[in-house]
Amino acid sequence: MNDQNSFTNDPKTRVGADADAARERFEDEKQAAAREFDKARAAIGEQASSMAHEAQEEIRERGEALKDQAADGLKTFADAVRSARDELDKKDMGPISGLVGQAAEGLESLSRNLQGASAGEMVDKVRDFGRRHPVSFIAASVLAGIAIGRFAGASAQHDHARPRTGAPRPPQGPRPTPAAGAYGAAEPTIPSSRTGGMS
């Protein structure tokens, strides 16, 4: 009995037991910290994945809206080109009318092909259209330039025709010029009834 008490009261034995207990606590705390770290990392990963997915969805939705707007705008332009073709037909301008008609048909076909295409596919389709239908592509570009030029010219004429406030208006018609005498002044005219010599 005394030997057992002396064994437990031995300072070296107590130090060893305390060290073992401290190691166990450290291992337990380390494992708990590792578990918490894994949980936090998984939560951050899920949140980042969710945010990335939401960003991709927003970009995709905006891209779809922009693509639809581009295709609709192209169809509207094709309709305007077709209206120009009809006006040229009325004025009996056959060759130009045929060229404009080809441009309108090509643009309408391109607008149909762009429906439902991705952004990269849209660029490729426009390039292919320019290669396969160069006449229609150039004609559409020229018509767009003419439309812009006419709009700019009409705006400039409208601004030029507007009267400026505060500026004096020039006189209308020719101005009478007085008869000049020897010294540049107007000489009075004497009626012939009063002329007569005094003798």
What pTM was estimated for this model as a whole?
0.36
With 0-12 CB in 10 A as exposed, 13-18 as middle and 19+ as buried, what is 169? exposed
d(CA 6, CA 114): 94
d(CA 81, CA 9): 106
Six-digit token string for 43? 């939560």
Instruction: Indicate whether 169 belongs to any domain.
Output: no
pLDDT, residue 157, reads 59
Instruction: Indicate whether 166 belongs to any domain.
Output: no
Number of domains in the chain: 1
pLDDT, residue 33, reads 83
In degrees, rounded to 5, the angle at the alpha carbon of residue 27 between the alpha carbons of residues 24 and 30 is: 150
pLDDT, residue 145, reads 61
Instruction: Indicate whether 75 belongs to any domain.
Output: yes
Instruction: Indicate whether 30 belongs to any domain.
Output: yes
Residue 114 amino acid letter: L
Q: What share of the chain is helix, strand, coil (3-state, %, to 5)?
A: 75, 0, 25
Q: Which residues of the chain have pLDDT under 70?
A: 1-13, 15, 48-49, 52, 55-56, 59-60, 63-64, 67, 94, 119, 135-199
pLDDT, residue 197, reads 45
d(CA 103, CA 32): 72
d(CA 6, CA 103): 109
Instruction: Indicate whether 181 belongs to any domain.
Output: no
81 touches 104 (CB < 8 A): yes
For residue 6, give the H/E element and its range: helix 2-8
Instruction: Indicate whether 87 belongs to any domain.
Output: yes
User: In sequence order, which ranges of 91-197 are alpha helices (DSSP H)?
Assistant: 94-114, 119-132, 134-161
pLDDT, residue 144, reads 58
pLDDT, residue 107, reads 74
Residue 82 is part of which domain span? 7-161
Torsion of CA 85, 87, 91, 92, to 10 degrees: 30
d(CA 114, CA 66): 12
pLDDT, residue 169, reads 54
DSSP 183: T
Instruction: Indicate whether 138 belongs to any domain.
Output: yes
pLDDT, residue 86, reads 79
Instruction: Indicate whether 189 belongs to any domain.
Output: no
d(CA 196, CA 101): 90
